[in-house]
Chains A and B, each alone.
Chain A
Amino acid sequence: MTAAGGGGATGRRRGWRLAAWLAGGLLLAAVPLVVRNAFVHDVMILTLLWAAAASAWNIAGGYAGQISIGHAAFFGIGAYTSSILFVDLGVTPWLGMIVGAILAALFAVLISVVCFRLRGPFFILATLAFAEVLRVLALNWRSLTRGSYGLEVTFRESAANFMFAGKRPYTYLALLLAAGMVALVRGLERAPLGYRLVATREEEDAAEAMGIDTFRAKVIGMALSALLTALAGSFYAQYFLFLEPGQIFSFEVSIQLPLICVIGGIGTAVGPLLGALLIVPFSELLRAWLGGAASGLYLSVYALVLILVVLFMPDGLVGALGRRAQEAAA
């Protein structure tokens, strides 16, 4: 997309791109109508859910350059808040997930105040510590979270309860969540906040010299990222209806989000979606085919892909595909 291409060509290309996106979206939306297989729905839901959560991580990690390996904290706050409010107080999860998102954003601000004086590995380790603190708290605060017994959300089918009998409504909601998230990040990319975040990531001191309040930009980016991650967490809770601190506030969740982003293309709007499309169905298939015998195997392959991608294709799939497209165009 060079300026030399002229307004008409760029406009046409943008039109094509929009059409391609719409077609892709419609195709995805049509799958649940045609396919009845529960496994396909399951894979689709998980793929879209992780794509959404990874997109949320991407705002802080990809755009602002604040690599967090503690996002399980926000994911867990979202999941537990909506579930506890529903189970103990009968508050509808639709409202509960908003409360959870706000709580997660507030927690993110707290973390930011502590962590944003730190950079590089120190920052990463601090985010890890915060998530671990929440995990230990959730394990021990039994009256609130039921600890390691797990919190079971009783299934009462009703749209008002965010609970549905079939998988199809969940599939559409996941699609909506993921599409909304990607669109939001795409919008953010062109908004003043997006530019501020990228400038902060690239050269914090220079950004500061340009008059950007980098601390403020980072805090807002982190809070937004936490808020959206919590929404994904609430969705997870509504879909699985069972929460356990060791699983929710886990290092696996924290690491899953950056992995998806890195493989897809960190700091790009579609990267998390591509990463999730590649990784999640693959791991679910491997898990389904090999069953218990494969425990460990699929994550090993996953990790190997990550190492190779990060060392030899650091721009991820988006970067590789983008280069290919540029070469083809030239």
Chain B
Amino acid sequence: MAIHIDEEKCTGCELCLSACPYGAIEIVDGTARFTDDCTLCGACVGVCPQEAIVLEMARKGEVDTTAYRNVWVVAETAPDGDLAGVTIELLGEGRKLADELQGDLAVVLMGDEVAELANTAAGYGADTVYVVQHPVLKQYRTGPYADVLCGLINKHKPEIVLYGATSTGRDLAPRVAARIKAGLTADCTGLSIDPETRLLQQTRPAFGGNVMATILSEYTRPQMATVRPRVMDRAQWQEGRTAEVIEVPVDIDEGSVPTKIVEVIADEGGHAVNLPDAEIIVSGGRGLGSPEHFALVQELADALGGVVGASRATVDAGWIPAYHQVGQTGRTVKPKLYVACGISGAVQHLAGMSSSDCIVAINKDPDAPIFKVAHYGIVGDLFKVVPELIKAIRERRGQ
């Protein structure tokens, strides 16, 4: 692994100096040169107008896998400023992996004014917390986060790096993977260590959930994975637990970040309804017969304290906006309870909800495929069953 500057192409324009988060470039005799502080993060490569900087990665088989140790979790923060739920789940899973590998569990915390979250990470099991704070990191953006993370990975050589399979994780991880040429597995639902080889066995659904696959990254390091939220068990909180907190100084020039966040628009009840995080979802399908009957679905959702979902057929028919759609081309959900009313259970819909903890299906067709995945099924007229169900639930809840 090496980086070098082609001195003949370099014009001494100093754009790379501005892009470097570690102050590791200096101008000597009119051309740029790396200092010993260089972490091979690659931030300078893309900004050079002359393409004078080349980052060479080790080829397969050249990586010394024994030099890589410890399990890392790339943390995310929730809107309320706390550690995101998925990060706490990754800490739980990461702890198990770190223990099996007899290594440490570290958290990478990037942002602005996030230092106090290091205590939270420690309480949830981290042995080490790398804290990287800078105003430019306040909101997630691909460029600076990838630059910082690549630098840390190249310097400290973790054996495994875990990310949440959130919009952030799925935007960041493949960028990092492509830069450092490391294997990345998406959306894992299972992780384990092969005791003989030390390799991370990564299990995930593919082909819309029709098939499960186990994947290895044998020759590259770190082994990276994005992990599906709400699948792994959360770490246990240990009051008073401490970790080694390492503050990583970075100097990132806002001017060298290629993307700007122009606007953040909060949930307006529009497209942004948060189905993936809902604990209870009641969905309606074509069996509802017409759009007004979504009111019944809403009533059941209200009685249960959940949100409304929909099949693709109802969305295509214009009965309900697309942001309610559950399925392969809609949202994938894993709530504690999923109630499917008048939904036949096409493969593409099942792909979006079949790993829900408890699935209830109400449909008048006994052969509807939805019954194959339902934990509880009622074969009957939903217009009779659902109102009774609403009544029974309201009674129990004293509504």
A, B from the same assembly: no
